[in-house]
Structure 1
Amino acid sequence: MVTPPPPWAAVPIPNHYFRGEMSPNTPPEPPLAQLEAITSCTICSPLLCVSVLTQVHGQGGFKFQNWAKTYGSSPELYFQPTSVEEIREILDMARQRNKRVKVVGGGHSPSDIACTDDFMIQMGKMNKVLKVDKEKQQVTVEGGIFLSDLNVELSKHGLALANLGAVSEVAAAGVIGTGTHNTGIKHGILPTQVVGLSLLTASGDILECSESINADIFQAARLHLGCLGVVLTVTFQCVPQFHLHEVTFPSTLTEVLNHLDDHLKRSQYFRFLWFPHSENVTVIYQDPTNKPPSSSANWFWDYAVGYYLLEFLLWISTFVPSLVCWINRFFFWLLFSSRVENINVSYKIFNYECRFKQHVQDWAIPIEKTKEALLELKAALENNPKMVAHYPVEVRFARADEIWLSPCFQRDSCYMNIIMYRPYGKNVPRLNYWLTYEGIMKKYGGRPHWAKAHSCTRKDFEKMYPAFPKFCSVRDKLDPTGMFLNTYLEKVFY
C-alpha cells in the first residue's frame, strides 16, 4: 500500500509549472500508477554495505505544490523511498525510461527549484539520526530528516546547531542544497556547518565527501542545488546547547545605517526590519544567555491583530494599493514600537512562524554596500508612488566562506529580503517592485538566494561566482546526462 502524500502537497494543480493563481478546477481522484522492479544489488560504502532484493513503488497522479502555493508540478511518478536500495532502483528506472529526477523535502522553497514532470523523490521516510559524536560535537543524519526533529534530538544530547534559518520544517539535504542562512556576521550560511556528507550519483555510486575525501565534490555538494545526486547523509558540526536572549526595539533607518558597524559588534545575531514607505525600523538582537526561558507571547496581539487583522487589511489594499503605506506605519506603531524581550532555547528563538503565503526575493550584497543599496531602494519607492511594498524588508548578515556557489563566497555579506504577501491566497501586483529591487541588487554586486525566485541565467552566474566553472565541471562529471536537472536548473547551467 502506498503511503499518502504529505498534506502540504495534496492540492489541485495544472500538469505543468505555473506561476500565479491556482487552477480552480479540482480533478477527480487520480488512479494509482505503480511501478515495481525487483533486482539484486550490492552497495559498497563505509556507511552502507548490503546485498538485498528491493521493490519500488511510484504513485501516479500526484500534485506537488510548494508551501506558499506559488509553484508546483505534476510528476509522472512520486516516490517515498525507505532505503538507499530503493533510491538506486528509482534512478535505474529513470535511466531506462530517459526520465529526470527531482528530490524534495519540506517544499518550502519559494521557486520552481523542486518542480518536475518526471520522477519526484520525497525523502521524508529517510529521516533518522544515525550517529551522535559527543566528543567531536557532531551529528550524522539521513538527508530527509527535518531540522525541527533534529533540533529536538540534539537537545537530548546537550547539543545544538550554531545557527538556523527562520523555518525548521525543512529537510537537512534541502537546507544545505539551497544555501539557507540566518544572520550573524560571525556565522556563515547553514552549509558552513556541514563537515561531511554522502551522495548517491546518477550512475549509482555512493560518494563519501569531506574536506579530506573527495574534497572538490564536497565543496560543490555543500550547496548542491539538487543537481549532483541524492544526498543520503549529512554530518553537521554542532555546539553545546544554549539559550538565546532576544531583544527587539524600535529605531529609524537613518540611525541603523549610520551606526551599522556598532550594531554588528553589539549583538552576535543582529538583524533589522525596515518598514517601507517610512523611516521605521525594528532592531533585533539575539545573544547567548544563562537566564531561564521567559516569553512575552500574546495570542491577541500575535494572531488576532498580527495575522487576522493584517491579512484582512492587506486584502483590502489589493483594491486600494495606497493603503499599504498606511498599513505599514499603523502596524509598526501597533506591534513594533516598544521594546520586547524573550528568552528560550536557541532553536525556538531562531525559528519563527511564517503565517502568510507570500512571494519573496532575497539577495546577498557585499556588506559595505548595505547603506547605499537600501537607501536607493527607499528612494525608488518614494519616487514611484504607484509602487507599493509590504513590510518588512528584512536585513541580515553572514560571514564569508569558500563554498563555490555560496552567495557569501569570499565576502562578508548583507542579505536583503523583500516580501509581498498573498492575503487569502490572492496575488498582488509586484512586478515593478521586483524588477526595481533586482536592478539595485545587480548594481551592487548581488547574488540571489538559490531557493527563491529570480530572473538570472548562466551568463549572470558566470559573472557572480568565480568558482562557477568548477561547480559545472563537477556537475558534468557526476551527472553527464542531466538526470537531476529541471526547468529552473536549465536556466542556471544553459
Structure 2
Amino acid sequence: MAVSMQDVRVLASTTRTSHHTWALTFFCRPELYLQPSSIEQLQTIVRAAHQFKKTITVTGAGHSPSDITMTKDWLINLDNFNNVLSFSRHESGLFTDVRVEAGIRIYQLNAALASRGLALQNLGSISDQSIAGIISTGTHGSSAYHGLVSQQIVDITLLLASGDLLTVSPTVQPDLFRAAMLSLGKLGIITHVTIRAIPSFTIHSFQEIIDFDKLLEDWSTVWTSKEYVRVWWFPYSRKCILWRAQKSRKSLSAPRDSFYGTWLGRKLYETLLWFATRIYKRAMPAIERFVFRRQYGWESTYGLGGSEAVQNSVDGLNMDCLFRQFVNEWALPLKHGVEVLKLVDQAVTKAAESGAYYVHAPIEVRCSNCSYPDKETTPFEIIEMSGGIGAIPGNTLRPLLDYSPVVPYSFTGPISNENLTLYLNATMYRPFGRDPPIGQWYSEFEDIMAAYGGKPHWAKNFIGKSPEKTNVPTSGEMVGLASVFENWYGEDGKKYKAIREKLDPEGLLFGGKEWAIRNGII
C-alpha cells in the first residue's frame, strides 16, 4: 500500500529539525526527525522509507558521544513510544517481568517500578537513556555479581525492515536474540522489551580515599568485597576514590556534601578546565589536586570506613557525569588490571613531564561479571553469590557483539578476578564546549588496552585500528574497527553480519552508514 509523504510528515517533530549528541560532539540535520507513538505509525515510516528509498536511524537520549546516530535521511526518536504495558509477577514472589515500549527512558521506568515497590537490580552510571539504547550499545554497571544490563532482558520485539514484528528470547530464535541484545540499531527497530525487576532496595555505600599504589596492592580482593564497587582514579594526585556498596535495610542517609555539586563549585571547576584547555595546559595537574582536595579531602581513609550513605538504588547506582565530554572506554580481563594501570600511569606521567599531553580526572575504573555458561541456564534460577547476595537473570546468553573478554564462567561458585571484566574509561571534558586535545592520549591509551586483549565500547569515542598504522597518533577522529573486526569477533561477528544481511538486505536501517562501514559491520 502506497504511503504519501504527507502521511510521514505528520509524524515529524515540529520543534526538532536537527540532532546532536548530549556531549555536543557530533551534529546532523536529518531530512525528517520523526517521533511516532504507535506501532502503526512505525510501520508507516518503514513502508514509506522503502517507497522513497530512504534510510532509517533510531536515536534516544543521544548519550552515545560518537557519530553512530548521525544521518542525513530519516531519524526516528521513540520518546513518545514509552508506555509501561504489563507487570507479570512470578509465583515465587522473587521477581516481576515488566513489558514496556522501547522508547521509555530508564528514569521513567525506574519511577514506574518504584510505584510498584520494584527496581532494576543493576544500572549504568546514568538513567537518561532509553531502554532500547542501553540494550543496543552494551551498557553495564560496576559489580562482580552482575553483568551487562541486557542480562536482565527476558525478550525483545523487533520491527523488521519488512514491516513485520518479531519477538525473540533465549528460547525463541536464540541466535537472533543474542544479536538483538547488542544490536547497534542495525537489525530492526526495537519496539518492546520485557525486563526482569526485583523488589526495591536501598544501597549502603562506603566512599574511601585510597592511594593509587595501595589500590594495586589490594587489587585481588577489592572487586569482590561488596556487591557494587567502582573506582575513580586521579592520576596526578596519585589517589583514588573507592566506592563500595551493598543492599541494605537501613534508614536513608544523605551522602557527604559535594564541592562540584554546587553551582559555584561546578562553574569554578569547568572554568579551571577551560583555562587548562585554552590557555595554559601545564596547569592541569595542579587543578586536579586542588579539586580533589576540595571535593574529597586528602588523607587516606581506606580501611577506616570513609563517608557513608544509604540511598535508594537508583540514586546510589547513578552518578553525576559533570560536563560534556569525550569518552573512550575499553573492556579487558580484570586479571590484567594491575599491569594495565601501571602502564597507563607511566604513559600519563611521562606525557606530563614532557608537556606532550595532559589527561582529565577521574579515569573511571569499573568491573562486571560478563562470564557466561556454556549452555543457557534456567531463566528462573537464582544465582547465589558471596555474602548472601542473589541475582536473578533474565537470560544468561552472551550477545554476539559483546566487547567484553571471554573469561571463565562463575556466578554459582566463588568469584575471582579471573571471572571478571575490567572497564577503563578515559574521559576528557569539553569545558564550555571547547575541545581538549585527545589524539595522542587516546592513541597511547588504546595501544595499551589492545595489547591486553581489550576492545572498545561500541558507542564511545574510540579511534580504532588503521590497516596502515597501529593507530593514529595526532587525531581523535575514528578510524574504526573494520581491519580487526573479523579477528576480534570471529564466528560471533560473522553470525551477527549474516543475521543483519538476512533481516535487512536493502540496508533500510543503515542511516549513518559511514560509521557501520568504518567499523566492519558492513
Shorter chain as denominator, the TM-score bin is 0.7 to 0.9
What is the 5 A alignment of 1:240-319? 240-298=199-257, 302-304=261-263, 306-318=265-277, 319=279
1:474 corresponds to 2:441: no
In the aligned structure 1, how far is the partner of 2:287 from the partner of 2:294? 10
SS at match of 1:287: strand
Q: 1:491 is matched by which residue type in structure 2?
A: R
Tell me the residue number matched to 1:218: 177
User: Is the 1:56–1:90 contact (alpha carbons within 8 Å) kept by the matching residues of 2?
Assistant: no
Which residue of 2 is the match for residue 94 of structure 1? 49
Task: Provide structure 1 residue ranges, at least 5 long, that are not aligned to the other structure.
Answer: 1-33, 39-54
Alignment of 1:110-259 (within 5 A): 110-135=65-90, 136-259=95-218
Aligned to 1:398: 368
What amino acid maps onto 2:347 in structure 1?
A
Structure 2 residue aligned with 1:424, among 432, 456, 478? 432
Q: SS of the counterpart of 1:482?
A: coil
The unaligned stretches of length 5 or more in structure 2 are 373-397, 408-419, 465-479
Q: Does the CA contact (< 8 Å) of 2:259 and 2:266 recur in 1?
A: no
CA contact 2:365–2:423 (8 Å) conserved in 1: yes
Does residue 407 in structure 1 map to residue 409 in structure 2? no
1:419 deviates by 0.9
Instruction: Return the match for 1:334 from 291, 294, 311.
Output: 294
Q: Distance in 2 between matches of 1:245 and 1:80?
A: 40
Deviations 1:299-326 (A, max 9, x none): 6652246412111111111211111111
The residue identity in structure 2 corresponding to 1:234 is V
Q: CA deviation at 1:353?
A: 2.4
TM-score by length of 1: 0.87
1:427-466 correspondence runs (5 A): 427-454=435-462, 455=464, 456-466=480-490
RCO comparison, higher one (Cα < 8 Å, 6+): 2
Q: What does the per-residue CA deviation read over 1:272-327, in whole Å, with 9 as the maximum and x for residues that have no partner? A: 11112232111010211111111035366522464121111111112111111111
Which of 334, 340, 346 is equivalent to 1:367? 334
- Alignment match, 1:58: 12
State the Cα deviation string for residues 329-381 of structure 1 (Å, max 9, x = none). 22222212363222111011111222301111010011111111111111011
Identify which of 489, 508, 512 aligns with 1:483.
Answer: 508
The answer to whether 1:351 aligns with 2:318 is yes
Evaluate the alpha carbon distance shift between residue 382 and residue 353 of structure 1 in structure 2; reply closer, same or farther with a 3 A threshold.
closer
Could you tell me which amino acid in structure 2 is paired with residue 432 of structure 1?
Q
Q: 1:267 to 1:306 in 2, by over 3 A?
A: farther
Corresponding residue of 1:74: 29
Amino acid at match of 1:458: A
Tell me: CA distance 1:301–1:416, structure 2 relative to 1, closer, same or farther (3 Å): closer
Q: Does the residue aligned with 2:224 lie in a helix, a strand or coil?
A: helix
- The residue type equivalent to 2:168 in the other structure is C
Quote the sequence identity (%).
33
Query: How far apart, CA to CA, are the structure 2 residues paired with 1:68 and 1:304?
Result: 19
Residue 204 of structure 1: how far off its partner (Å): 0.7
1:176-205 CA-to-partner distances (Å, cap 9, x unmatched) read: 100111100111011111110100000111
| Contact 1:56–1:86 (8 Å) recurs in 2 | no
Change (3 A) 1:36 1:301: closer
> What is the rounded CA distance, in whole Å, between the counterparts of 1:132 and 1:226 in structure 2?
26
TM-score (norm 2): 0.82
Deviations along 1:140-192, one digit per CA (max 9) or x if unpaired, are: 11000000010011112221111101111110001110011110011101111
Contact kept in structure 2, 1:64 and 1:72, CA below 8 Å: yes
Distance 2:285 2:405 in 1: 36
AA partner of residue 489 (structure 2): Y
Equivalenced residue count is: 445
| Cα distance in 1 for residues equivalent to 2:260 and 2:7 | 55
**2:392 paired residue number:** none
Distance 1:302 1:57, change over 3 A: closer
| One-letter code aligned to 1:374 | L
CA distance in 2, matches of 1:75, 1:304: 35
